[in-house]
Amino acid sequence: MVEVMHDTLGKFADLYGSYWYYIGTAAVGLLVLVLFYRKLTGPKLPPGPFAWPVIGNIPHMGTQPHISLLNLSKKYGPLMYMQLGSVPTIVIQSPEMAKEVLRTQDHIWASRPLTIVGEVFFYDRQDLLFAPIGPLFKLLRRTCVNSLFTPKRIQQFQAVRKEMITLFIQKLLQECKGGKPATVDNMLKETNFNNISKILYGKSYYGLKTKNVDGSLNAREFHEIPELWAKVAGGVIVGDYLPFLRPLDIGGCEALLKTLREEFNVFLTSVIEEHRQRVPAPGTEDFVDVLLTLPADDQGHRLTEIQIKSFLQDLTLGGIDTTTTGIFWPLLQLMRHPEHRKKVQEELDVVVGRDRLVDESDLPRLPYLRATIKEAFRVPTAVPFLAPRESLEACKIAGYDIPKGTRLIVNAYAIHNSPEFWLEPEKFDPDRFLDPKNPVKHDEYKYIPFGGGRRMCPGMDSATLFVESFLARLLHCCDLSLPEGMIPQDVDSGASFGVTLAPTTSLRVIATPRLTLKVYKDAGIAL
Ligand code: HEM
């Protein structure tokens, strides 16, 4: 023992006398000085958790980043600074801060960062979702407002919505014949896929109604793309945060994105070719028709074929998963809360009765149904993080310095689920949207399921109309119950993080008809 101590002390004495000791001490001292100097003279950054060398705060995100960040806000407040690998990031988690970046400083925060998905999948950001602020962004946004999501165009697709919803109800009732439960998740996905693809491409590509499936357009491959894309885009792509690792393509995300883009390209090339060879009757144009015939803008800009393809990728991927989730959560909440389901159905019976189908024109007279959907967009929150943004210039928020090029995460989930902004946030309570004494005002930024500012979701009106029409018809046409042995509390409301919050388990229901038989017969729904 004594010998060992002698040996160690001897080694230490050797080191003490060596150059390495002096070099090491000098390096540590210099580092401390640099850090101290930067703290004194550098920007005054918002508070945030300790960042590890190289990886920074990536471990703080965990597997459920929306919840991890909400928990961190309890310690660091609603404006937090984090270093995600090499990416300086601020996280916003209160209505006040959301209003600051989405309204007051919208001109600074409306751009999108360059990410691997934007670069690889969207042909170097030739789409709207990933476009930085600039001429292309303006042209595509204008196209949304003036040509694609106009009230007239949304109205034009009313028949499509009706057809898709009727097919869903028919399939559900058929599957539930004899009191059997049906799993609704895939059926919902198919319905939304068909609705969006009819609006965009003029055809449905999913097997709800097999005669509509067009094998010549790689339909089968096409409907796998959104699912795979959502998995990649909703996860962490290592090269985005640690660029020196990008050549390794850990997890193979970049390779998969390239394959998906090529598959989508084959599909879109054939769709565009087909559309170029036809002249649709006025009032029957789909989005591809509209995009191919757009006149040049004031500066003579016209969309290139790559831009049209990227934009269609956006609309396909941005529309399907979000709307599916947007219908799924209200339905799940109504299965967990039969008392609210009963109230929605009572409202439908009073306003519409049982001798005809509910129509879109009835929706303004169905406030309880609409409040239920709003509440289900709040808890959990279909899109937990708004799409990422980046500051175009250095700015100040709440007295802190935010450097140019800082990444912005707006945690909509946290804003919707914090007890600071909502009374009993975990409680599913549609009435909070109907309280005249305490209205939820749009300009308070307390409720932002579709984002805000100039990047706000362009599909909001169209998606809301579809979700409302869908649930109105479903709950009007069908009584819903749970499989035998299940009680409402057994319905699992677990969700996993991604571009959208996906349910962790399937929803199974038993549907039975509740209107007079003639109504189903007239609507072509076989019982
Ligand atoms: C319930 C359904 C939907 C929800 C909850 C939703 C939510 C959102 C959110 C949160 C954003 C980001 C906004 C921001 O950064 O401030 C967004 C952007 C976007 N959404 Fe939606 N969305 C839905 C349906 C749709 C549909 C049906 C389409 C098109 C067919 C669509 C197309 C887009 C596009 C293109 C953007 C990017 C806009 C931009 O960056 O300028 N969305 N959506």
Ligand 1 atom at minimal distance to the Cα of residue 463 = 27
Token representation of residue 98: 């959301």
Q: Compute, in angstroms, the gap from residue 66 CA to the centroid of ligand 1.
A: 18
Q: Compute, in angstroms, the gap from residue 253 CA to the centroid of ligand 1.
A: 23
Residue 100 pLDDT > 60? yes
Residue nearest to atom 40 of ligand 1 (CA): 129
190 lines ligand 1 (CB under 6 A): no
Q: Provide the annotated binding site for heme.
A: 457
pLDDT confidence of residue 224? 78
Tracing tokens 């309280």 back to the chain, one arrives at 435
Ligand 1 atom at minimal distance to the Cα of residue 327 = 1
Q: Compute, in angstroms, the gap from residue 14 CA to the centroid of ligand 1.
A: 66
Ligand 1 atom at minimal distance to the Cα of residue 131 = 40
Give burial (CB, 10 Å; 0-12/13-18/19+) of 514: middle
Domain residue ranges of the chain, discontinuous segments joined by +: 43-523
Q: What share of the chain is helix, strand, coil (3-state, %, to 5)?
A: 60, 10, 35
pLDDT confidence of residue 118? 97
Give burial (CB, 10 Å; 0-12/13-18/19+) of 481: middle
Amino acid found at 17: G
Token representation of residue 228: 């795979």
Q: Compute, in angstroms, the gap from residue 281 CA to the centroid of ligand 1.
A: 29
Per-residue pLDDT band at 205 (split at 50, 70, 90):
confident
Tracing tokens 């979700």 back to the chain, one arrives at 467
Measured CA to CA, the distance from residue 261 to residue 120 in angstroms comes to 8
Instruction: Tell which one of 450, 465, 500 to mutate to probe ligand 1, the residue whose CB is within 8 A of the most ligand atoms.
Output: 450
pLDDT confidence of residue 23? 61
Measured CA to CA, the distance from residue 382 to residue 379 in angstroms comes to 8
501 lines ligand 1 (CB under 6 A): no
452 lines ligand 1 (CB under 6 A): yes
Cα–Cα nearest to 474, from 320, 323, 365, 334: 334
Residue 210 pLDDT > 80? no
pLDDT in tens, 397-452: 999 999 999 999 999 999 999 999 999 999 999 999 999 888 888 889 999 999 99
Buried b (16+ CB within 10 A) or exposed e, 14-37: eeeeeeeeeeeeeeeeeeeeeeee
Q: Compute, in angstroms, the gap from residue 449 CA to the centroid of ligand 1.
A: 9
Residue 365 pLDDT > 90? yes
Residue nearest to atom 7 of ligand 1 (CA): 450
* Of 87 and 8, the one with more pLDDT: 87
Query: What's the CATH number of domain 43-523, 1.10.630.10, 1.10.1040.10, 3.40.50.2000, 3.40.190.10?
Result: 1.10.630.10
450 lines ligand 1 (CB under 6 A): yes
Measured CA to CA, the distance from residue 192 to residue 203 in angstroms comes to 12
386 lines ligand 1 (CB under 6 A): yes
Across 291-305, 321-335, 363-377, least confident range: 291-305
Mean of the per-residue pLDDT values of the chain: 91
pLDDT confidence of residue 431? 96
Rounded alpha-carbon distances, angstroms, from residue 388 to 116, 159, 329, 372: 13, 35, 24, 28
Note whether 261 and 124 are within 8 A (CB).
Answer: no
Measured CA to CA, the distance from residue 171 to residue 186 in angstroms comes to 12
pLDDT confidence of residue 507? 97
128 lines ligand 1 (CB under 6 A): yes
Measured CA to CA, the distance from residue 428 to residue 413 in angstroms comes to 15
Residue nearest to atom 16 of ligand 1 (CA): 451
Q: Provide the annotated binding site.
A: 457
451 lines ligand 1 (CB under 6 A): yes
Note whether 505 and 184 are within 8 A (CB).
Answer: no
Cβ atoms within 10 A of the Cβ of 266, count? 13
Greatest alpha-carbon span in the chain: 100
Measured CA to CA, the distance from residue 273 to residue 406 in angstroms comes to 42
Note whether 446 and 440 are within 8 A (CB).
Answer: yes
pTM of the full predicted structure?
0.90
pLDDT in tens, 185-202: 989 999 999 999 999 999
Note whether 503 and 494 are within 8 A (CB).
Answer: yes
Rounded alpha-carbon distances, angstroms, from residue 11 to 21, 26, 27, 249, 264: 12, 20, 21, 44, 65
Q: Compute, in angstroms, the gap from residue 323 CA to the centroid of ligand 1.
A: 10
Across 116-125, 351-360, 431-440, least confident range: 431-440
Instruction: Tell which one of 148, 322, 386, 410 to mutate to probe ligand 1, the residue whose CB is within 8 A of the most ligand atoms.
Output: 322
Cβ atoms within 10 A of the Cβ of 80, count? 25
Instruction: Tell which one of 457, 466, 469, 470 to mutate to probe ligand 1, the residue whose CB is within 8 A of the most ligand atoms.
Output: 457
Residue nearest to atom 11 of ligand 1 (CA): 457
